[in-house]
Amino acid sequence: MSGSGFHVHGPHDHELEHAAQHGANHQDSGNMTSQIALFTAMIATVGALFGYMGGATQANAGLYKNNAAIKKTEAANQWSYFQAKSTKQNLNELALDLAPEGKKEFYEAEIKRYKEEKTEIKAKAEQLEALSVDWDQKSDAEMHQHHRWAQATTVLQVSIALAAIALLTRRKWLKIGMFVAGAIGVTVGALAIAHL
């Protein structure tokens, strides 16, 4: 202030006066902005992790389904082999009925050999079918978990969108919606972690 009654403000004086007069509104606004920014950063990080897990489980589901198809094909090959042995056994049984006495012993040995081979082939085919079913079940479980991760990621993205709208509009109900959506997204992610 000068001696003639003329007052000169410094560059920061106006901001200090404004903050003193309207401090509560700016503080609430700044507090809301900080909360939303922090929340958005945390939810975006969690969402990125959930997105990664969703991609990993989807890849596993595809890999397991492929393994199931391979085992199913191997089982089908074994059943074809079993059928070929059955055909040969049947031909030898027919030959046994038609063969002269001196050749019957040969055909009986062949029939016995084919029966033994078929038993081994059948056991292997059934084992491969069981492996195929097991891989299919693993694939289905991974796909279910992938859907959980995708649901969690989607809800977190909605939460981030609500955060942006809350920040722009300064609506408290949107801020509350942002927190609720974030909590739901994290909960669904926890269900994915628990394989539910």
| Phi–psi pair at 172, nearest 5 degrees | -65, -35
- Distance (Å) of CA 36 to CA 5, 24, 27, 179: 47, 18, 14, 9
pLDDT on residue 42: 92
Cβ neighbours of residue 43 closer than 8 Å, sequence gap 6 or more: 156, 159, 160, 163, 182, 185
pLDDT on residue 21: 56
Extract the residue ranges of the chain whose pLDDT is less than 70.
Answer: 1-30
Whether 135 contacts 65, CB under 8 Å? yes
pLDDT on residue 3: 55
| Residue closest to 51 by CA, chosen among 147, 150, 156, 143 | 150
| Residue closest to 76 by CA, chosen among 137, 129, 134 | 129
Alpha-helix runs per DSSP H in the chain = 13-98, 101-169, 172-193
pLDDT on residue 10: 47
Whether 99 contacts 107, CB under 8 Å? yes
The token pair at 44 is 């975006």
> Side-chain half-sphere of 126: how many Cα atoms within 13 Å?
6
pLDDT tens per residue, range 66-111: 999 999 999 999 999 999 999 999 999 999 888 898 898 999 999 9
